[in-house]
């Protein structure tokens, strides 16, 4: 069973064009991703679930994730932060990233949504 089934998000999760992921807050361990995530980042669900964002080197700069986690814990939801995320092939994608905390199966988790920013001036990012 996919986590999204138990959250009641199947339509949005399965058919949306935005990349969704659920990771543990502490470790950044993937619990689930949607099809848009698979297409955008080049990983199958089976390749990411159970692995951490650090193992897969998803964040170009891991300090960006640490800052966003701190912001989530102190201030709440993150909306449209521009960051750089790495695909399976090693390509760096300029991304708008939104996230919020959630509880799943007794764990603090992050529900994240990301989208490409292909037209954005990369010199202005971060």
pLDDT tens digits, one per residue of 49-104: 999 999 999 999 999 999 999 999 999 999 999 999 999 999 999 999 999 999 98
pLDDT (0 to 100) of residue 17 = 77
Q: Note the pTM of the prediction, 2 decimals.
A: 0.83
Residue 7, pLDDT > 80, answer no
- The answer to whether residues 66 and 57 touch, using CB atoms and an 8 Å cutoff, is no
Which tokens hold the place of 109? 């988790």
Three-state SS at 89: coil
Q: Is residue 101 part of a domain?
A: yes
- The answer to whether residues 54 and 31 touch, using CB atoms and an 8 Å cutoff, is no
Instruction: Find, among 112, 122, 114, the residue nearest to 85 by Cα.
Output: 114
Q: Is residue 3 part of a domain?
A: no
Residue 123, pLDDT > 80, answer no
How many whole angstroms separate alpha carbon 75 and alpha carbon 69?
A: 10
pLDDT band with cut points at 50, 70 and 90 for residue 37: very high
Total of domains in the chain: 1
How many whole angstroms separate alpha carbon 7 and alpha carbon 5?
A: 5
Q: Is residue 14 part of a domain?
A: no
């Amino acid at each position: 069973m996919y986590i999204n089934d138990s959250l009641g998000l199947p339509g949005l999760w399965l058919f949306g064009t935005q990349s969704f992921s659920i990771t543990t807050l502490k470790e950044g361990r993937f619990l689930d991703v949607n099809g848009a995530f698979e297409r955008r980042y080049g990983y199958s669900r089976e390749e990411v679930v159970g692995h951490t964002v650090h193992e897969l080197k998803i964040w170009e700069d891991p300090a960006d994730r640490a800052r966003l986690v701190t912001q989530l814990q102190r201030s709440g939801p993150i909306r449209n932060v521009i960051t750089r995320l790495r695909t399976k092939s090693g390509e760096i994608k300029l991304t708008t990233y939104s996230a919020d905390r959630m509880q799943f199966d007794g764990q603090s988790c992050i529900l994240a949504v990301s989208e490409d920013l292909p037209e954005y001036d990369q010199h202005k990012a971060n």
